[in-house]
Amino acid sequence: MAYCFGVDVGGTSIKLGLFFDNGSLIDNWEIPTRKESQGENIIPDIRDAVENKMTEKEIIRSEVIGVGVDVPAPVLDEGIVKETANLNWGYKEVKKELEEALLIPVVVANDANAAALGEAWMGGGKGENNLIMITLGTGVGGGIISNGKLISGAHGFGGEIGHIHVKDGELCQCGCGRYGCLEQYASATGISRLANEHFKTWNKETKLSEKDLSARAVFDAYKMDDKLAAEIVDEFAGYLVKGMHDLEIIIDPAVFLIGGGVSKAGEVLVDVIEKKFRRNVLFTNENTKITLATLGNEAGIYGSAKLVIDEFGK
């Protein structure tokens, strides 16, 4: 049996997984992300973490088919990133640097894309060849699998679904420079923004308080039948479904997976999205499923490992 590693590099911690090349997870752990000094320790830290685990498990280099790494940035061919604000990286040849450090083949991907691949492989979309994962976190990320392969695009921007245009006439600018992007309404930040707007003009009873208008507070109140929360959730879901309707006719997935921090709201979130989505289904796609992602924080290490197996496995 051969081995591979899946490494998910986030702004706070680096998650690592050791896998058999048939996909079973042997061990997983995490280390802090040291972003100081332009993040120059990140790659040596990954090298050390991988090598220490190999020593601990008595694994030799020739038994490791590769190391998959996902990062919070678009990834160009040859595993190059241009700039990764969350890691304090500028231009970095991630694949080349880590291969030189480890002397093991490396594959690099975008984190949201890797998460989608992980979910398609071992999570909520297991066995599906056409799938879209929507990650509702601080921003809105996404990963698209079509014909069983990740859509990473010609410049590494494939699946950046947080920037689908969903509202005309928006005056507030998105971080990307455009106006009316899905991320402005459907991320945790976006939901909180909608909550603040609605709260200002609300003059009836509500369980929500100005002190906590977070996405989490909104969904907690929604579950207790709060009317203000219902208004906010309705608006949020409207934008999300608008983006999903565009994705439906562009990609036509068998399943939409909802993940990220906001998805911790659970099945009520799927219910509200489902109702809106079905109200306006095109053509014959009424079978498109909507479901929660299931791998949580481990989706990235699974997806990164799968990239290695697809590229270097037997």
User: Which residues make up the interface to its own copies (CB under 8 A)?
Assistant: 74, 82, 128-130, 144, 146-147, 149-161, 163-169, 176-178, 242, 245-254, 280, 282-285, 287-288
**Beta carbons within 10 angstroms of residue 108's beta carbon:** 28
- Shortest separation between residue 104's beta carbon and its own copies, angstroms: 25
- Shortest separation between residue 253's beta carbon and its own copies, angstroms: 6
Q: Give the DSSP H or E segment for 15.
A: strand 13-20
- Shortest separation between residue 307's beta carbon and its own copies, angstroms: 13
Nearer to its own copies, 26 or 176 (CB): 176
CB 155 within 8 A of CB 76: yes
Nearer to its own copies, 137 or 180 (CB): 180
Q: What CA–CA distance (Å, rounded) separates 247 from 252?
A: 7
- Shortest separation between residue 24's beta carbon and its own copies, angstroms: 27
- Shortest separation between residue 292's beta carbon and its own copies, angstroms: 19
Read off the tokens for 242: 């608008």
Nearer to its own copies, 94 or 150 (CB): 150
Nearer to its own copies, 52 or 280 (CB): 280
Read off the tokens for 83: 């700039």
Read off the tokens for 201: 């003009």
Nearer to its own copies, 5 or 89 (CB): 89
Nearer to its own copies, 173 or 196 (CB): 173
CB 167 within 8 A of CB 185: yes
Q: What CA–CA distance (Å, rounded) separates 88 from 182?
A: 26
- Shortest separation between residue 194's beta carbon and its own copies, angstroms: 17
Using alpha carbons only, what angle is made at residue 80 by residues 74 and 83, rounded to the nearest 5 degrees?
55
Q: What CA–CA distance (Å, rounded) separates 99 from 147?
A: 29
Q: Which residues pair with 66 in a beta bridge?
A: 4
Read off the tokens for 84: 């990764």
Question: Count H helices, E strands: the chain?
Answer: 10, 12
